[in-house]
Structure 1
Amino acid sequence: MSALPDFEKIHPSLWRGSQLARTAGRVIDTGYKALSAELPGGGWPISALIELLTAQSGIGELRILRPALASVANKSIALIQPPQVPNMHAFAYMGIDPAKLVWISPEKSADSLWAAEQILRAGSFGAVLFWQQHIRSESLRRLTLAAQSNETLFVLMRPLASAQDSSPASLRLALRPAENGVAVEVIKRKGPIGNGSFVVPVGPAPSLISPFARRSRKLFVREPGKSTVITPADVSAP
């Protein structure tokens, strides 16, 4: 019986179902060996849609992205419609210059989707972090195509309940709080089904959410196509 062909030599998009795929594009090291070992290519894929699914915000989803964000912080990082006010001092602790952060929060979800798509197509940002409670499949497809047009780390934060919905994302991870870090479960990847959850020891970090989360939203961007850089002085106590 002849040996099975090496599918990856035929085309980089082919792989054995029992093995992790070799990503055709570049990846960014996650900074965590346990996590990198579970991802195709050994890192966060760029030019792709990544989904992090959480039961609630603030359980460590930004800490798990900390090494990757620090590595692309030579460019601006977009925070689009975060659920609460970002803590700029915490980002500085992560090694990210607060002046590199662009905080965008339009009043309408349609404007947020428009902003995310335009930023991805521009390709001038190192990373785009986008929070959405509800998003339609056609919007996900548009964002996926926009992400493929440039080398940008694109992470979409969605509720854990969205795990049961179909998605064109190349990587989907469910995150849950754990005693020593964040419990990660692979929902979707180019490779075999994940074997349950594993804990990523993200370590202690200051709160990434400002205590002034319910303050006035006067600093938020109101018009599509315009953005605001938020500095520590902008989020000081009233």
Structure 2
Amino acid sequence: MANSLSLVEMHPGVWRGSQAQMKQSRLLPTGFTHFDSALSGGFPASGVIRIVCLPGCGELSFLKSVFNSLQAETLAVFINAPGMLTAPWLNRTGFNPSDCKLVTTPVDLSGWATEEAIKSDACSLVCCWTKSILPGQARRLQVAAAQHECMVVLFEHPENIQHPLPIALDLLFMPATEGFEVNINKQLKGWPVRGVKERFKYTPDNSAIASAMSRFNRLPEQDGARHG
């Protein structure tokens, strides 16, 4: 019985509560004070992180500091991104475009594509936008990510069914006034935390467009009245 238990404990997908700090000793700060405090320092450098959020809400820009802390000269793979990731945007976010791979695959193959990218040993980061992931799939990705020292970020839409997952970090991002409100549903190094608020502006407003339209689309009689 003791030998059987020892074999179970050696499995990379199994950890004890007392081992959590040892296995997740390297943390990458997000640059947001309240968020990092609630996370006991930041994101784990390896393992699976699920972020439930609306696609295109600035989810990648929010994590710019984390991405900049990852190992240089390794690949970053983006699977089924909701929009076009252009070279100028990648540069602004801290990526070298030549070190980035954009992958488009059928939704039912996104998990397979993510696992293959992890196992290639060429990636320090894999980001995948996917539908609701099952616990068994998540466990496979968590084990692979830990073994190959890769950060895997899974983005899910809030309307999908969210199962509890055996992963390193599970987050819910919600739009709030002038930023985000984040629920930390699960983390290896601490307890769940709800309602962490951070100021963050990503989506530009249309004030510049409105100003330009008001200047260049003025009616002729308005110009005449002003200058006459």
Structure 2 length-normalised TM: 0.73
2-structure distance, mates of 1:134, 1:178: 24
Separation (CA, whole Å) in 2 of partners of 1:31 and 1:148: 24
Q: Secondary structure at the match of 1:22?
A: helix
Distance (whole Å) between structure 1 residues aligned to residue 204 and residue 76 of structure 2: 19
- Preserved contact between residue 80 and residue 104 of structure 1 (Cα < 8 Å): yes
Whether 1:151 aligns to 2:149 is yes
Report how many aligned residue pairs link the two structures.
187
User: Could you tell me which amino acid in structure 1 is paired with residue 129 of structure 2?
Assistant: W
The equivalent residue for 1:105 is: 104
Are positions 1:136 and 2:134 aligned together? yes
Between Structure 1 and Structure 2, the one with more helix by share is 2
One-letter amino acid of the structure 1 residue matched with residue 154 of structure 2: L
Q: Secondary structure at the match of 1:169?
A: coil
Secondary structure (helix, strand or coil) at the match of 2:73 reads coil
Deviations 1:151-192 (A, max 9, x none): 111111012245742211221110012232222111112322
2:57 corresponds to = 59
The answer to whether structure 1 residue 70 and structure 2 residue 73 are counterparts is no
Residues 1:205 and 1:161: Cα distance change in structure 2 (over 3 Å): closer
Q: Distance in 2 between matches of 1:193 and 1:136?
A: 21
Q: Which amino acid aligns with 1:77?
A: A
> Structure 1 residues 32, 78: CA separation in 2 closer, same or farther (over 3 Å shift)?
same
Q: Tell me, which stretches of 5 or more residues in structure 2 are unaligned?
A: 1-14, 206-228
Sequence identity, in percent?
A: 25
Q: Which string of whole-angstrom CA distances, capped at 9 and with x for unpartnered residues, describes residues 86-116 of structure 1? A: 233222112222222100012x234322221
Higher Rg: 2
Which fold has the larger relative contact order, with Cα–Cα distance below 8 Å and residues 6 or more apart in sequence? 1
Match of 1:14 in 2: 17
Describe the SS at the equivalent of 1:119: helix
Cα distance, 1:44 vs structure 2: 0.8
AA of the residue aligned to 1:157: F
Report the CA distance between 1:35 and its aligned residue.
1.3
- Please give the secondary structure, in 2, of the residue aligned with 1:112: helix
**Contact kept in structure 2, 1:60 and 1:177, CA below 8 Å:** no
